[in-house]
Amino acid sequence: MVFVKDGELVTPGEPICVEEEYSPGENAKLHGDGVVASLISGVVQYDRSKRIVKVKPIKQVEKVKVGDQVLLQVREVQDKIAIASIIAVNGKAVKHPKTAVILPNRGRRGTMDEYVGVGDLAVGLVVTNFMGVIGVSIWRPNLGVVYGICKKCSGPLIKAGRTLVCSRCGEKQKRKIVPYYGNLERIASMMG
C-alpha cells in the first residue's frame, strides 16, 4: 500500500509505503511494523525498476566526510592541536563554516605554532568525523598553509626560500607550507 505519491512532500516520521512494495533508500527508514517512513522533510521519489523509495531533501545540507579536501582558516593554536573554521569543501565555499581540529602528526616534534598560525589559510584532508568533531590532517605533501599571517603584526607572509617573511615588519616565521604557497588564483579556485 502506497501512502504518498511520487513527488509529494513528506515530513520526518511520515509513512510513505509498506515494505512489500518498496525498500527504504536514502533518507527513508523501515519501522518494525513493515512501514517505510521518511527521516527528513523532503520530496518522495520512487525507483520502480529497483523497487526503492527515497526522500530528496528540500534543503541540501552541507556535509563534511572523511576524505574531503577542505580550506581552513586557523582560529586558535594550542600546543598539540589547532582549531580552525572550514570555509570550503572540495572546491565549494560553505554557507555556514564548520569547526575542525587540525590534528598533530605523530612523527613531528615541536608545538603546533611552528606549523600554523592564527589567521592562516590552510588546505587539509578530513581524516576523522566522530560525534561531530571533524579531524583534519595537513601533513601530506600537498597540504598545509597556503597563505600565512604574521604572528607579530598580522601582515601577510611572503615566501623567501624555505622561510616566510612578513611584508610589514620583516619577521621570519616557520610554517608547514604547500608548493603553491601565496598563489591567490589557486586559493580563489578553492572557494568555488
CB 90 within 8 A of CB 149: no
pLDDT number for residue 76: 97
Residue ranges of domains in the chain: 9-57, 69-190
CA dihedral 141, 147, 148, 154 (to 10 degrees): -170
Query: Per the structure block, which three cell numbers stand in for 10?
Result: 513528506
CB under 8 Å to 121, separation ≥6 — which residues? 71, 72, 73, 74, 145, 146, 147, 187
pLDDT number for residue 96: 87
pLDDT number for residue 40: 92
For the chain of 192 residues, list the mean pLDDT of each consecutive stretch of 10.
Answer: 90 94 95 93 95 90 89 96 96 91 87 94 96 93 95 94 91 93 88 74
Q: Which H/E stretch holds residue 79?
A: none
pLDDT number for residue 106: 83
The CATH class of 69-190 is mainly beta
CA distance linking residue 162 with residue 132, whole number of Å: 36
Do 9-57 and 69-190 share a fold?
yes
pLDDT number for residue 151: 94
Beta partners for residue 54, in sequence order: 45
pLDDT number for residue 54: 96
Its pTM stands at: 0.70
pLDDT number for residue 127: 97
Nearest CA to 123 out of 191, 71, 45, 182 is that of 71
User: 9-57: what fold?
Assistant: OB fold (Dihydrolipoamide Acetyltransferase, E2P) (2.40.50)
